[in-house]
Chain A
């Protein structure tokens, strides 16, 4: 019998869809591990997924945040993606994330769970620039001025 681990089909199809989107999108598995983000998200963060790879929440937090308006790290448990995957409910929030060059981007994130007949397999989050922050991730204003 094969011993190769296999991602659930629902995650595979979600990744395929996200790969075709121009909106930044993130994918976590049922354990809350970031398993993919698309090119648009890579442009926002300043690093392609292929350079980052699969990362757990602590590593993710140290690289990209997120942060609240007071520049305090937002607890992992409060992130929309984590709420979605743990509670099986959609979630929405706005916060800041930090790209690799130190630029902060204020964004809104909507996350929804990937529910299957076998239970929750993960969640997808789609990001937009927060209202008043520009029309696309490329034009998102940055607090330090380097990203505008």
Chain B
């Protein structure tokens, strides 16, 4: 499974000279599965560049939305493949008792916020609520589960060819709870991330910033690291950077994250901050030789 980070920023696009290395586009991760199937995790402004990178030939693409906050859907009307009739797009997202996924997204893709309406998109687009149980897309098995954030919000786990990716970009598992003390089954998002080969997780706040943002739906660095340690994720990419965090600030946070991870027994290279344009290949762990007694 190939992974590319097209947008790593949280809350609002923040382009400029101070964010040029980590990037200013909001949440979007592109996945190419082992059978060639294409997935996009969220449709923040990063999905615009993902669309420009796709060929114009007939394409089928699945977009898995964690939730409908603007920084996760804002790129939809700037996604070039959506304006090609030969494109088929399936958009998955959380159910709500209030309205269908299509109707909720249409509140954004409609006047006066958008020059086009959903019904005017020339592509073949459909909207599906994520099932309660695992389902298949191409060669992958997908699982979605509600996680602690503001409003109906999902995290995803994608298992493909023996490798696994967990994607929980907006997450406050420590809201009213001590992650280090709770039993595993009482930790929001635990089952999604347990033992994942790669975990892309909310890392919005430095510890000193969190007290002023309790209940906003995001993690402090300590919470992110605790969550990664408790779930046993093999590699953690901190994501959804605060728009006020410059490259220099993120460099410092990354160094602190690696240092603290190493202090708890991990290898520093197992934790990093997501960089726009960053590419990974998530592979199943190599089989371990069995020592003979």
Contacts and interface: CB of A to CB of B under 8 A. Distances in A.
Interface of A: 1-2, 4-10, 12-13, 15-17, 19-20, 117-118
Interface stretch (B44-52, B67-75, B182-190): B182-190
A2 B192 contact: yes
A7 B186 contact: yes
Nearest to A15: B186
Contacts of B95: 117
24 contacts: A1-B134, A1-B141, A1-B143, A1-B157, A1-B159, A2-B157, A2-B164, A2-B191, A2-B192, A4-B191, A6-B192, A9-B146, A9-B147, A9-B148, A9-B188, A12-B148, A12-B177, A12-B188, A15-B177, A15-B186, A17-B176, A19-B176, A20-B176, A117-B97
B210 to A, nearest CB: 16
Interface in B108-163: 132, 134, 141, 143, 145-148, 152, 157, 159
B134 A4 contact: no
B182 to A, nearest CB: 9
Identify the interface centre among A5, A10, A117: most chain B CB within 10 Å of its CB: A117
Contacts of B157: 1-2
B194 A2 contact: yes
Given A2-B194, A20-B176, 15 more contacts: A2-B157, A2-B196, A6-B145, A6-B191, A9-B145, A9-B147, A9-B148, A12-B177, A12-B186, A12-B188, A13-B148, A13-B175, A16-B177, A117-B97, A117-B152
B32 interface: no
B203 interface: no
Interface string B81-124: 00000000000000111000000000000000000000000000
Nearest to B132: A118
B195 interface: yes
Contacts of B194: 2, 4
Contact of B191 (A5, A10, A13, A17): A5
A30 to B, nearest CB: 13
Interface string B268-287: 00000000000000000000
Contacts of A5: 185, 191
B176 A16 contact: yes
Contacts of A10: 146
Contact of A16 (B175, B190, B196): B175
> 9 closest A-B pairs (Cβ-Cβ)?
A16-B176, A6-B191, A9-B146, A2-B194, A4-B191, A4-B194, A16-B177, A117-B95, A2-B191
Nearest to A8: B146
Nearest to B141: A1
A117 B177 contact: no
A25 to B, nearest CB: 13
Contact of B185 (A7, A17, A19, A118): A7
A115 to B, nearest CB: 9
A117 B148 contact: no
A64 B176 CA distance: 28
Contacts of B175: 13, 16
A12 B146 CA distance: 11
Contacts of B141: 1
Nearest to B96: A117
Contacts of B188: 9, 12-13
Given A1-B157, A19-B176, A19-B177, A6 B148 contact: no
Nearest to A17: B176
Given A9-B145, A9-B147, A117-B95, A4 B185 contact: yes
Contacts of B147: 9
Nearest to A116: B146
A10 B164 CA distance: 26
Nearest to B149: A9
A40 to B, nearest CB: 15
Contacts of B196: 2
